[in-house]
Amino acid sequence: MPQDKNTTELKQRLFGLLKKYSYKEGRVVLSSGKVADYYIDARIVTLSSEGAYLTAAIILGLIKACPALDLSGVSAVGGPTLGADPFLGAIAAMAYLDNNPLKTFIVRKAAKEHGSGRRIEGPALTRGEQVLLVDDVATSGKSLIDSIKALKEEGLIVKAAVVIIDRSEGAKEALAGVDCPLISIFKATDFRSQ
């Protein structure tokens, strides 16, 4: 990710909030089923005004200028519920204000059994559309891979996945196995070494 002065400042501010409010040491069972000696509850920060803004600004910066990938064709950003939910609205609003409107979407764990019965919620996405997948924390990558499968079943092209924090416990390798690069804003070791 390009590290201009503004990006560096945004990342420092987001890191400070995550370190202060989200990072906790102590035994915990993760959604992957693994037992860990620390937990990072990013939602505490991404559900705040400042945290949602910082996360959205950093991700939008990636879409505009990621040297590792060509994300210029991305027209929609979304991710698995509940990790991506808090900052997707901020991404949509900021993209609109920047005259570069993006659709946002949420991938449910399963299709609704009522109403429209949709698994992917949000504005209509068209077959062949390029999307960026986002989430708060990646451990094994299971929820991201499940979302990728759901999106591909709809004929969408998943260009990459971006997470706020990669716990470095297999998600990057698992996503590589389904041809989806994983980009992380931070690694869990960034928090553990501070």
Show the domains of the chain with their CATH numbers. 5-192 (3.40.50.2020)
**Mean predicted lDDT score pLDDT of the chain:** 92
Amino acid making up residue 23: Y
- Is the pLDDT reported for residue 67 higher than 70? no
Contacts of 10 (CB under 8 A, 6+ apart): 54, 57, 58, 61
For residues 144-156, give the mean pLDDT: 97
Q: List binding-site positions for orotate.
A: 139, 167
* Torsion region of 39: left, alpha or beta (phi above 0 gives left; psi -120 to 50 gives alpha): beta
Residue with tokens 């990459």: 160
pLDDT tens for 78-134 read 999 999 999 999 999 999 999 988 999 999 998 877 777 789 999 999 999 999 999
Q: List binding-site positions.
A: 108-109, 112, 114, 135-143, 167
pTM listed for this prediction? 0.93
Question: Residue 36 half-sphere exposure, CB side, CA atoms within 13 Å?
Answer: 19
At residue 169, the pLDDT reads 94
Tokens of 78: 């979304």
At residue 3, the pLDDT reads 55
DSSP string of 172-192? HHHHHTTT--EEEEEEHHHHH
Q: List binding-site positions for 5-phospho-alpha-D-ribose 1-diphosphate.
A: 108-109, 112, 114, 135-143
